[in-house]
Amino acid sequence: MSHHFNNYIAGEWRAAKSGQTVENRNPADADDAIGAFPDSSAEDLNEAVAAAREAFEAWRKVPAPLRALKVQRAGELMRERKEDISRQMTREMGKVIAETRGDTQEGIDTAFYMAGEGRRLFGVTTPVELPNKFGMAVRRPVGVAGLITPWNFPMAIPTWKVFPALVAGNTVIIKPATYTPATVCELGSILEEAGVPSGVFNIVCGRGSTVGEAMLHHNEINVLSFTGSSAVGRRINEVGGKTLKRVSLELGGKNAQIVLADADLDLALEGVLWGAYGTTGQRCTATSRLILEETIHDRMVQMLVDAAAKLKLGNGLDESVQVGPLVSAEQRETVHSYVEIGREEGAELALGGEYYEEGDCARGYFYRPTVFVGVTPTMRIAQEEIFGPVLSVFKVKDAEEAMRVLNDSSYGLSSSIYTRDVNLAFKAIEDLDAGITYVNGPTIGAEVHLPFGGVKDTGNGHREGSFTVFDVFTEWKSVYVDYSGRLQRAQIDVEE
Ligand code: NAP
Ligand code: MG
């Protein structure tokens, strides 16, 4: 019997009005049912938005440090339940248990960081040009926030949005990815237990094409925060443009790691294995391209192929497994179609390129770690996000060409360079077109208190994480207090 999950609306756990559900199964094992989730419609969303709207007036008046205490309590509960949350997450989306523990930990870190921000939420005070007059700018909540999240970080990404939105005084509705609602339902139970009042936090499970679309069009949602593909991001911005909603977009990536001839190659190898095959390549910051200086190219490719061939695939609950399945049959087909494209484009398959179906893995969506060599910048596998364990290797003649190849992408999320030359490292920091640059580290590994996001088609200029997320979830108000007792006209009554 599979477990039944519900929406969380106005402080109650409710089935979809239509009574329809969607069933989810473990991508590592089709025999393992996770549960049945509401297949909600616009009607369910309307109830959630009405609840959030009603709750907003009281919630925005709760002092920020006290709102933040609820988030802190949620973080404490997450910490107590970390192992259960992580195990369920591995069953729900397949990544290995060490990584789902990291995903949960990121949620806990965000809770504690944001709990502290409740006592900061810094504004600005500044001198003004007239005497006996005071100037400052303060942050106010935006209102009702609509949050739409992907499946690859089922806890971390929802918490990046939910916790700052709540600390800033907004009320929220979250629509989790259809593949991973169970983790968000767990977050809902935790916020309920932490004492977040009814209506302040709501969950509406359902498809992007129904609930997601309805969110874009809803007049009572004031800000939309989305993480997902660039294709859907474009759609959201289009509709958001018409309704003049604030829209924050965190989108795809085609991240590259550069390895220069002077680098520590063993370190660079460890980095690329983790960056390319961690989360089975299904991270927005995954290493999808490896750019090698020609003098070390052959040696590094050999090291890579040998090591990637030894990675252990399987059910992520087994602590010795290093690579889990892809999230779905559909995702595996997409990944494989890119492998066919790469072959047709003339890249050379050095490893993998096929389904992995040995033993119990036949019950899941496993794909062999894959390496293409001889990739050139105009190939589709060099440009498009594959979102799977497929790495494209480029050979370049020097650091300058390496950086040019790295920048030859419509995306700009994460980037990495391995070198011992401090001058080249700083040149990379200055010249790589990306929101994140790692020096002597892989393309993944963001911490919650630094800005997170990218340039070009990776987003629309916002940054999550750190204090910068409050530019998504607050409106600025400028305040002038004139204590001169007379009319003082700015720009006019100013004596130079
Ligand atoms: P996706 O297909 O764009 O879906 C993301 C979310 O949007 C899901 O909840 C989805 O619902 C919903 N959605 C789909 N169509 C919609 C529509 N028309 N209107 C409103 N919502 C809609 O992305 P994904 O496949 O879940 O995730 C993978 C992508 O996310 C990759 O491109 C990856 O790079 C990106 N990503 C970016 C970051 C970042 O911070 N930059 C982080 C992680 C992932 P359903 O689940 O029902 O489809
Ligand atoms: Mg999708």
- Cα 475 to averaged position of ligand 1 atoms, centre (Å): 26
| Mean pLDDT of the 260-274 span | 98
Q: Does 22 have pLDDT greater than 60?
A: yes
Q: Which residue's CA is the nearest one to ligand 1's atom 32?
A: 229
**Cα 232 to chain center, whole Å?**
14
The answer to whether 394 and 382 have CB atoms below 8 angstroms apart is yes
Q: Does 496 have pLDDT greater than 90?
A: no
Tens of pLDDT, residue by residue over 215-235, are 999 999 999 999 999 999 999
Phi-psi region of 281 (alpha: psi -120 to 50; beta: other; left: phi over 0): left
Residue 462 φ/ψ, nearest 5 degrees = -85, 165
> Is 205 a known active-site residue?
no
The answer to whether 444 and 104 have CB atoms below 8 angstroms apart is no
Contacts of 224 (CB under 8 A, 6+ apart): 145, 146, 147, 148, 215, 216, 236, 240, 245, 246, 247, 248
Q: Does 481 have pLDDT greater than 80?
A: yes
Instruction: Decide: 2 in ligand 1 pocket, CB within 6 A.
Output: no
The number of the ligand nearest the C-alpha atom of 436 reads 1
As a whole number, the mean pLDDT across the chain is: 98
CA distance 98 to 10: 35
Measured over the CA atoms of residue 357, residue 252, residue 276 and residue 384, the dihedral's sign is positive
| Mean pLDDT of the 309-326 span | 98
The number of the ligand nearest the C-alpha atom of 284 reads 1
User: For residue 200, what pLDDT is reported?
Assistant: 99
Instruction: Decide: 207 in ligand 1 pocket, CB within 6 A.
Output: yes
Prediction pTM value: 0.98
- Cα 149 to averaged position of ligand 1 atoms, centre (Å): 6
Set 106, 250, 293, 464: catalytic member:
250
Tens of pLDDT, residue by residue over 119-138, are 999 999 999 999 999 999 99
| Mean pLDDT of the 347-360 span | 98
The number of the ligand nearest the C-alpha atom of 152 reads 1
Q: Does 372 have pLDDT greater than 80?
A: yes
**Which residue matches tokens 């004596």?**
495
- Cα 232 to averaged position of ligand 2 atoms, centre (Å): 8
Domains and CATH numbers, the chain: 7-251+459-479 (3.40.605.10), 255-439 (3.40.309.10)
Instruction: Decide: 148 in ligand 1 pocket, CB within 6 A.
Output: yes
Q: Which residue's CA is the nearest one to ligand 1's atom 15?
A: 208
Instruction: Decide: 117 in ligand 1 pocket, CB within 6 A.
Output: no
Tens of pLDDT, residue by residue over 145-204, are 999 999 999 999 999 999 999 999 999 999 999 999 999 999 999 999 999 999 999 999
> Is 284 a known active-site residue?
yes
Q: Output the six-digit token pair for 347.
A: 């890249």
Instruction: Decide: 237 in ligand 1 pocket, CB within 6 A.
Output: no
CA distance 117 to 109: 12
**384 half-sphere exposure, CB direction, 13 A CA radius:** 12
- pLDDT band, residue 495 (cuts 50/70/90): confident
Q: Does 389 have pLDDT greater than 60?
A: yes
Q: Which residue's CA is the nearest one to ligand 1's atom 17?
A: 208
